Amino acid sequence: MYRRLLSSLLAAVVLTALFTGCDSFLQKSPQGELTSENFFRNGEDAQRALNSVYDYAQARSFDFFPPYPMIFGSIASDNATKGGESGSDQISVQRVEQFNPRPTDPYITSTWNTMYTGIYRANLVIANVPDIESMSASQREQIVGEAKFLRAYFHFYALKMYGLGNDRANDGPGIPLITEPLPASDADVPRTSEAEVWAQIETDLQDAATAMGPTAPDLGRATEGAAKALRVEAHVFQEEWSDAQTLAREIIDSGRYSLDPDYSRVFDQRGEFGPGSVFEINHVDLSSALEGTVGTIYQNSRDTWGYGFNCPTQALYDAFEANDPRRDATIIESGETITGPEGNTETVEVVGACAANGPDGYLNEKMWLPAARQPSGPRKGPTNRRVIRYAHVLLWHAEAANENGDPQAALESLNKVRARARDDDDDPSNDPDGVLPDITTANQSELRDIIWHEQRVEFAMEYQRFFNLVRQGRTDLMADDGFQEGVNERFPIPQEQLDQGTALDQNPGYE
């Protein structure tokens, strides 16, 4: 919890190598506990402190809760149902799905605590690293830049969860904006307006992009491109279309990213940190530490070694165009035989609550692992989380360009994504049997709907659908599940946070 951790000791973590000849950004178990007052002495301390910030970006639960992005970005939307053994399995997740979450629910609380613990640790780095004289100026700037990126990342997610308004006027209730490592006695912080939070996110990401290079010192660490891309998303959420289009075009023109020709490979371990990876959170199955994700075991079939949560809906299945290869790479149908990257095949049955979803029931193939690669423990799933892909940048650019009355620029970026999906190397003449033909309409309203649809199928089951529906003003698509306008755009502030002070008030509808 944020307030409790303000007076706790700073956990120290270190870098290690995952593959021979390929450094990967990982965390090991704490190598000792040191107070912030005696910790920041040299470059090694600074790096270990930064690693502890990344530790909270992993979104793995220290209490073995399901990962919060899966719950709020996917299960809360029309793309997925809860699944599990039965309807009562993980009842608080079911309440999120049915839009009646409680302020005392563990996932509401753990998400808040994760965001604000990450912010606290980032603030420690930002406040202390500039004073370490034994480091070079460039080393200090790099580490502080990464910490500012992560502080913006945590504030951004917390704002989407707890503080956005009901429209894009930036007049939502906001969230606590914390930019210094406050002592425990000062942790009762009131909300800052939505507009002011956005402004701080913008400032942090501008600073981060200036400080960080185009490539990361280690895989899994943020880069200049990641900071710019997160700024693009922030502009899109605020409908600042001119800024979004300009900045997205800057990323596209940099030539640093490209679309992996094989869509399905992107989500396998073979595709980790591939050419289209802008920001990716690393997970690994280590026998000595909990650096994996619980998302793997939660989303694999109950027929094998998983728990069968986060099941694609029939509506999502039907949303894919005819013969779109992305559907087969995204959704497992019951009884489907899948060939793993090692060439072994496995027939996957859908059992439990997922089996009641649609005619056959479905599972999320983007998190599937064959039995031969079952993790060594429940919290050790090796699947990385692709937070920002180059396809995001292209479709944000398409959306912004369309809103700016620039349909040709919008079509160029949109059709690049569709061309990769049909695997024709961007050559429309190789279009196989009319699969995913290029879009040609210049009608703004029609093109808007097409771009939104493309975002849905391209990023299906990647934990973003709910927040996109909210920002697009299309929450009516969730009305049949109980969504209430003016209430469910936000989730409740955790009750334990309200109980510890008087500065915060509850979000409307959850009092």
Reading the chain (511 residues) residue by residue, the pLDDT tens digits are 322 222 222 333 332 222 222 333 333 334 445 566 678 999 999 999 999 999 999 865 555 567 889 999 999 999 999 999 998 899 999 999 999 999 999 999 999 999 999 999 999 999 999 999 999 999 999 999 999 999 999 999 999 999 998 776 778 899 999 999 976 556 689 999 999 999 999 999 999 999 999 998 888 999 999 999 999 999 999 999 999 999 999 999 999 999 999 999 999 888 999 999 999 999 988 776 778 899 999 999 999 999 999 999 999 999 999 999 999 999 999 999 998 777 778 999 999 999 988 778 999 999 999 888 899 888 889 999 999 999 999 999 999 999 999 999 999 999 999 999 997 555 555 666 679 999 999 999 999 999 999 999 999 999 999 999 999 999 999 999 999 999 999 999 999 999 988 899 999 999 8
Same domain, 258 and 338: no
Q: What is the pTM of this model?
A: 0.91
Our count of domains for the chain comes to 2
Distance CA 228, CA 393 (A): 10
Q: Which domain holds residue 457?
A: 2-282+386-488
Within this chain, do residues 14 and 149 fall inside the same structural domain, yes or no?
yes
User: Are 151 and 53 in a shared domain?
Assistant: yes
Q: How far apart are CA 141 and CA 120, in angstroms?
A: 19
- Regarding whether 188 and 73 lie in a shared domain, the answer is yes
- Residue 472: give its domain's CATH number: 1.25.40.390
Query: Which ranges in 187-240 belong to alpha helices (H)?
Result: 194-211, 224-237
Residues 164, 126, single domain; the answer is: yes
Distance CA 84, CA 297 (A): 11
Please report whether residue 143 resides in a domain: yes
For the chain, helix, strand, coil in percent to 5 are 45, 10, 45
328 and 428 together in one domain = no
DSSP assigned state of 340:
-
Do 141 and 192 fall into the same domain? Answer: yes
Task: Give CA separation, 401 vs 243, 312, 406, 410, 448, in Å.
Answer: 10, 31, 5, 5, 10
Q: Which residues pair with 333 in a beta bridge?
A: 362
Cβ pair 93, 61 in contact under 8 A: no
59, part of any domain: yes
Same domain, 195 and 336: no
Question: Same structural domain for residues 346 and 323?
Answer: yes
Structural domain includes residue 446: yes
Same domain, 359 and 412: no
- The whole-number pLDDT of residue 29 equals 34
Query: How many whole angstroms separate alpha carbon 508 and alpha carbon 485?
Result: 11
